[in-house]
């Protein structure tokens, strides 16, 4: 139990950044994209003007001599199609000259098609159209080659590079450096031995602090399978706006199953996990959503709360609410509020019923036809109405609407080391466990797998889906007793 209570109570949910920020390295990316886009626009504008000068003149509203603004939709179409082909992305994509030819050809065909339907006799002459197509491709080719050559030269001088950090085994460090150096767009600022991260979680915390203090925007991990706290590392980097690359020296994707993008690094395929452009906003929205929904429901359902309280008082002697100590975020104990569904001395009677526990490993305590449950309590549990007071825990910030269920001290004391990962996020009223069978699940390892799956794949949309399924499970009375 010391593992849960000794942790700092000031730590946040694993998914919650301290503040919202832009993804690191965004400035370099935006500088590259805006520079290349401006260069393309200049070349395309020049190509159109040259075509008009050298082609057969035609009295047309598309002629920039008569209407200077006619070039705007032409450039917008061409630039838009170039962007749609992802030719402003990474180095491999922007050097795909075949796709560049396709994009500019399609743009010219679209303009020709639009002119055929709307101005069949007044677009541009055939010679102007063909010259425009040829000049557009030629000039953008030359400009992009010059741009890439300039960027390569500047980066060799150590400027306009992505600040990078490597996590690997000592024997893999030089190989990783060579692979990264081939890209000529990364500047390695530091290195950490993965074996130290495996042995000591405090060392992992210190490494993450070092990465953040160096202003690193991208981290390369070469021994992903060796890190036990893979999800912890992933979320910490994600919240800091740092892109994570997994180099395939020994690849095992267990622990991360979302947002994977394949990218070539030094001739090898590497897995890239990019944080959102603006990190932290999604979790802030989750907390706002939790508070607004919980407060609104409590206010609207206050008559239901009063009715349940009256029924409990009539049914059996004792208090209306039952408060139990549960273990929450980072092992911090807190009081969970529920409507009382058992007799007053239920906790003492549990020791006599331990032998009837239906859970295989004994961590959770669940039995059908529990003799401690009152008449009204059976009804409340069947429809999960006993959980309604936990909305106050949500309002106080101790719980979320969706997350791993907070467990009693008795259950957490039986945890194995790998079970504590569920304590890294804010506990919830509902979760994948609840919508996947609730009390019908008798193996705690299956509960852990569901909790970890939720944590790995968390999003606001996933929370919405779980809440919707929770309503359906409650109405269907599935797995509740």
Q: Is the pLDDT at 275 greater than 90, yes or no?
A: no
Q: Which residues, 6 or more positions from 407, have their beta carbon under 8 angstroms from its beta carbon?
A: 326, 327, 363, 364
Element (H, E) at 270: strand 268-273
* pLDDT at res. 199: 59
Q: Rounded to whole angstroms, how far apart are CA atoms 332 and 427?
A: 11
pLDDT tens, residue by residue, 31-55: 888 999 999 999 999 998 898 888 7
Q: What is the mean pLDDT of residues 309-334?
A: 90
Q: Is there a contact between 435 and 473 (Cβ–Cβ < 8 Å)? A: yes
pTM of the model: 0.65
CA torsion sign for 473, 416, 239, 407 is: positive
For the domain made up of 161-279, the CATH class stated in words is alpha beta
Average predicted confidence (pLDDT) for the chain: 81
Which range among 170-179, 351-360, 382-391 shows the weakest confidence by mean pLDDT?
A: 351-360
Top-confidence residue, 476 or 310: 310
pLDDT tens, residue by residue, 193-248: 888 776 567 788 888 889 989 989 999 998 887 787 788 888 889 888 899 988 87
Q: What are 4's two structure tokens?
A: 């849960």
Rounding to the nearest 10 degrees, give the CA dihedral for residues 413, 414, 416, 419.
-70
Q: Is the pLDDT at 1 greater than 50, yes or no?
A: no
Alpha helices in 360-408 (DSSP H): 375-382, 390-395
Phi–psi pair at 220, nearest 5 degrees? -110, 125
* pLDDT at res. 3: 41
Top-confidence residue, 396 or 16: 396
* pLDDT at res. 439: 55
pLDDT above 90 coverage of the chain, percent? 26
Helix (H, G, I), strand (E, B) or coil at 143: helix
Residue 342 is classified by DSSP as B
pLDDT tens, residue by residue, 416-464: 888 888 888 999 999 888 787 655 666 788 888 888 888 888 888 889 9
Listed by start position, the domains of the chain span 26-156, 161-279, 281-476
Q: Rounded to whole angstroms, how far apart are CA atoms 199 and 352?
A: 41
Q: For the chain, first and last CA: distance in Å?
A: 28
Q: Is the pLDDT at 277 greater than 80, yes or no?
A: no
Q: Is there a contact between 47 and 108 (Cβ–Cβ < 8 Å)? A: no
* pLDDT at res. 94: 75
Top-confidence residue, 398 or 64: 398
């Amino acid at each position: 139990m010391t593992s849960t209570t000794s942790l700092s109570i000031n730590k946040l949910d694993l998914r919650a950044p301290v503040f919202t920020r832009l993804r690191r390295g965004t400035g370099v990316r935006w500088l590259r994209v805006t520079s290349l886009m401006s260069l393309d626009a200049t070349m395309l504008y020049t190509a159109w003007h040259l075509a008009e000068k050298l082609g057969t003149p035609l009295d047309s509203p598309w002629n920039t001599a008569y209407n200077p603004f006619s070039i705007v939709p032409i450039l917008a179409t061409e630039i838009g199609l170039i962007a749609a082909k992802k030719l402003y992305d990474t180095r491999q994509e922007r050097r795909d000259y075949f796709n560049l030819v396709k994009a500019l050809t399609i743009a010219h065909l679209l303009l020709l098609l639009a002119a055929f339907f709307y101005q069949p006799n007044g677009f541009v002459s055939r010679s102007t159209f063909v010259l425009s197509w040829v000049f557009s491709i030629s000039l953008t080719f030359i400009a992009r080659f010059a741009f890439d050559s300039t960027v390569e030269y500047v980066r060799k001088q150590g400027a306009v590079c992505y600040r990078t950090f490597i996590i690997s085994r000592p024997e893999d460090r030089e190989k990783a450096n060579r692979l990264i150096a081939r890209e000529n767009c990364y500047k390695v600022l530091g290195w950490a031995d993965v074996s130290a991260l495996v042995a000591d979680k405090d060392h992992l915390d210190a490494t993450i602090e070092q990465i953040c203090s160096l202003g690193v925007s991208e981290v390369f991990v070469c021994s992903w399978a060796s890190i036990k706290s893979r999800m912890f590392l992933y979320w910490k980097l994600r919240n800091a706006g740092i892109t994570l690359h997994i180099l395939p020296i020994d690849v095992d994707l267990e622990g991360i199953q979302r947002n994977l993008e394949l990218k070539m690094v030094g001739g090898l395929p590497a897995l890239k996990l990019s944080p959102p452009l603006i990190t932290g906003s999604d979790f802030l929205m989750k907390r706002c959503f939790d508070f607004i929904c919980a407060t609104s429901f409590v206010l609207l359902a206050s008559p239901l709360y009063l009715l349940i309280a009256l029924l409990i008082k009539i049914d059996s002697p004792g208090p209306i609410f039952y408060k139990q100590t549960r273990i929450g975020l980072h092992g911090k104990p807190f009081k969970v509020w529920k409507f009382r569904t058992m007799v007053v001395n239920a906790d003492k009677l549990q020791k006599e019923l331990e032998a009837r526990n239906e859970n295989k490993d004994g961590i959770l305590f669940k039995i059908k036809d529990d003799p401690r449950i009152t008449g009204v309590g059976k009804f409340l549990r069947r429809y999960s109405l006993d959980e309604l007071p936990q909305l106050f825990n949500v309002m106080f910030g101790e719980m979320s609407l969706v997350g791993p269920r907070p467990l009693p001290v008795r259950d957490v004391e039986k945890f194995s080391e790998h079970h504590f990962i569920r304590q890294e996020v804010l506990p919830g009223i509902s979760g994948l466990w609840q919508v996947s069978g609730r009390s019908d699940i008798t193996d705690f390892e299956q509960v852990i797998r569901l909790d970890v799956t939720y944590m790995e794949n968390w999003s606001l949309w996933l929370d919405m889906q779980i809440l919707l399924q929770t309503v359906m499970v409650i109405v269907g009375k599935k797995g509740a007793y």
